[in-house]
């Protein structure tokens, strides 16, 4: 994963705390997972603790271990935990692909907007499966990339100019990684954040999407630009350099069960 300076991490925490997708995604995750309140929980890619702090008020009798490999992110997560008197949340430095935990100790695991930052997403998911109990569950929340491979590559190129570890996954790619790691979906849904506005304010990672848009335009790839407008965001330019954004960004929210050896893949259940 990419490390950040303390100032960068602080700015990201401030931006995320006011983000529309937090207010829409976090309740969806809680409803889908329905924690009982006394579980041993792993938060993979805990960052500055945005999701873990919300979860800590649901798992009041349990324990939440948050892992991340960014010292700056973890510093902020710890500072916030102390400030908010969260005694059931413990942010630790660890890699998703090489956890130091023994097998089968967590009831629940959450991977919220972090899979696309893993150095090796498949290995990270297998590690999550390893540390979950035999009846354990993983809740995954991940932005969905476009289905077109060339468009995903262009978005990845633009995003990686700032976030070198950023990746885009199609729904099919996520399904395959989860299945290969030993998970079976119980239920899931897609949450769409719609935008019809002037400017990119409030659009998650908006400047990076615009970098991708301008990069495609500069290459004069009309076919790819049309796909960007169809599959990502529709961008129109008005007088005086004004930019208008229309469309929606989709997030997958999926509750997965750790599959036992020998069990077959069942049909997916969408909410």
The answer to whether the Cα torsion of 138, 254, 224, 193 is positive or negative is negative
Q: State the pLDDT at residue 268.
A: 52
42: which strand partners?
65, 109
Residue with tokens 């660890």: 94
Residue with tokens 């919220």: 112
CA distances from 113 to 144, 211, 223, 270 (A): 10, 21, 29, 20
Could you write out the three-class secondary structure of 57-86? Answer: CCCCCCEEEEEECCHHHHHHHHHHHHHCCC
CA distances from 190 to 124, 141, 142, 169 (A): 22, 9, 10, 14
Query: Can you tell me the distance from the alpha carbon of 100 to that of 176, in angstroms, rounded to the nearest whole number?
Result: 26
Query: Can you tell me the distance from the alpha carbon of 33 to that of 62, in angstroms, rounded to the nearest whole number?
Result: 15
Query: Can you tell me the distance from the alpha carbon of 16 to that of 36, in angstroms, rounded to the nearest whole number?
Result: 26
Q: State the pLDDT at residue 267.
A: 47
**pLDDT in single tens digits along all 271 residues of the chain:** 566 888 888 888 787 776 677 888 999 999 999 999 999 999 999 999 999 999 999 999 999 999 999 999 999 999 999 999 999 999 999 999 999 999 999 999 999 999 999 999 999 999 999 999 999 999 999 999 999 999 999 999 999 998 889 999 999 999 999 999 999 999 999 999 999 999 988 888 889 999 999 999 999 999 999 999 999 999 998 898 899 999 999 999 999 999 876 665 554 544 4
Q: State the pLDDT at residue 98.
A: 95
- Residue 128 tokens, joined: 């999550």
Query: Can you tell me the distance from the alpha carbon of 172 to that of 170, in angstroms, rounded to the nearest whole number?
Result: 5
From 140, 179, 185, 138, select the one nearest 41 (Cα to Cα): 138
Contact 258, 136 (CB under 8 A): yes
Q: Is pTM, for the whole model, over 0.75?
A: yes
């Amino acid at each position: 994963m990419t490390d950040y300076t303390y100032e960068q991490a602080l700015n990201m925490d401030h931006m995320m705390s006011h983000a529309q997708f937090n207010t829409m995604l976090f309740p969806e995750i809680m409803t889908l997972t329905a924690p009982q309140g006394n579980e041993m929980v792993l938060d993979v890619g805990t960052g500055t603790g945005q999701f873990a702090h919300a979860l800590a008020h649901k798992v009041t009798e349990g324990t939440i271990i948050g892992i991340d490999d960014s010292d700056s992110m973890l510093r902020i997560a710890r500072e916030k935990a102390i400030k908010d008197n969260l005694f059931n949340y413990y942010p630790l430095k660890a890699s998703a692909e090489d956890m130091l935990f023994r097998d089968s100790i967590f009831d629940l695991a959450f991977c919220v907007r972090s899979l696309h930052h893993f150095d090796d997403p498949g290995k990270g998911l297998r590690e999550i499966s390893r540390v979950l109990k035999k009846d354990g569950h993983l809740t995954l929340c991940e932005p969905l990339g476009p289905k077109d491979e060339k468009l995903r590559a262009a978005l990845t190129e633009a995003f990686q100019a700032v976030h070198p570890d950023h990746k885009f996954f199609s729904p099919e790619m996520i399904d395959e990684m989860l299945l290969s790691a030993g998970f079976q979906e119980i239920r899931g849904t897609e949450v769409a954040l719609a935008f019809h506005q002037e400017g990119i304010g409030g659009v998650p990672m908006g400047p990076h999407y615009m970098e991708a848009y301008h990069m495609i335009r500069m290459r004069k790839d009309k076919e790819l630009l049309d796909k960007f407008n169809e599959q990502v965001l529709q961008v129109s330019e008005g007088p005086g350099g004004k930019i208008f954004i229309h469309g929606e960004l989709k997030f997958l929210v999926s509750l997965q069960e750790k599959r036992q050896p020998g069990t077959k893949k069942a049909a997916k259940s969408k909410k």
